[in-house]
Amino acid sequence: MTNPQLHTLRETAQAFRALHVPGSPLVLPNVWDTASARIVEEAGAAAVATTSAGVAWELGTADGDRLDRGQAVGAVERIAAAVRVPVSADVESGYGEDAEGVADTIRAVLAAGAVGVNIEDARYGDGGGEPLRPIAEQAERIAAARAAADEAGVPLFVNARVDTYLRGAGKTEETLERAGAFLAAGADGVFVPGVVDPVTVRALAEGIEGPLNVMVGPGAPSVAELAALGVARISAGSGIAQAAHAMVRRAARELLGTGTYDSPAGGLDYAELNTLMSGGR
């Protein structure tokens, strides 16, 4: 007997996969809770993606593989239930000590309703001083994620994050080497945060045999400019969450300091936000 939920998840995953088009990129203002997810969806996003940093901060811990898998998956489940568009989950390095642990995370993420994941090659904690996992080890983790999704019958979009630029562990040559290995292991796309200069972005887009994802922020080229360079996916990362929390700090300092309260000016209308959050799926 066909599982209708699996059928729907499979169709959603296929739709999400089709959004990754070089030259016509998927744009993702990353979210961290149900309110930010619904706001982003209402703004017209074709999909929503979580930011691990934003989710970690929301749940009271720091970013960098410190979040418990159960907490992370719980956040993904709430976000997926709150929106109608496809959801991609930032699972950091996979919330697993080994490849099988990554596979367990993928099974949990699929059960939570996500159809995409980011898996990074950065190493935190006791990594022998090396900022990135060895290529072979990371490729094994990517392959385990791919196998778990295939076993479930869902074409999960596995976005392999390469932190060469973000962690100062290499440039174009090293990035292309890692990207090639991770795509061969079963990744569908490659995410290279930390670089937005046009020359490098074009070189990466031309050298990576899969959709390229970059992370943007103030001062980065526009969506149209990045599209012209061949980018297929554009993410805001933790930037929007950082801006939201910065506004909280400004408002708190103003109210507690000068006793005024101009900082929240321009905030969303109470009724509008309340209506948005009461809409349900």
Task: State the pTM of this model.
Answer: 0.95
Residue 275 falls within a domain, yes or no?
Answer: no
Contact 151, 94 (CB under 8 A): no
Residue 265 falls within a domain, yes or no?
Answer: no
Structure tokens at 159: 């976005």
Angle, helices 135-152 vs 99-112, to 10°: value is 40
Measured CA to CA, the distance from residue 181 to residue 142 in angstroms comes to: 10
* Number of separate domains in the chain: 1
Residue 138 falls within a domain, yes or no?
Answer: yes
Measured CA to CA, the distance from residue 169 to residue 138 in angstroms comes to: 15
For residue 14, give its domain range. Answer: 4-239
Residue 267 falls within a domain, yes or no?
Answer: no
Residue 13 falls within a domain, yes or no?
Answer: yes
CATH number at residue 158: 3.20.20.60
Residue 178 falls within a domain, yes or no?
Answer: yes
Question: What is the reported pLDDT for 3?
Answer: 65
Residue 197 falls within a domain, yes or no?
Answer: yes
Query: What are the average pLDDT values for consecutive 10-residue runs of the chain, which has 281 residues?
Result: 71 98 98 98 98 98 95 98 97 97 98 98 79 97 98 98 96 98 98 98 98 98 98 98 98 98 95 88 49
Residue 234 falls within a domain, yes or no?
Answer: yes
Cα within 13 Å of Cα(119), Cβ side: 36
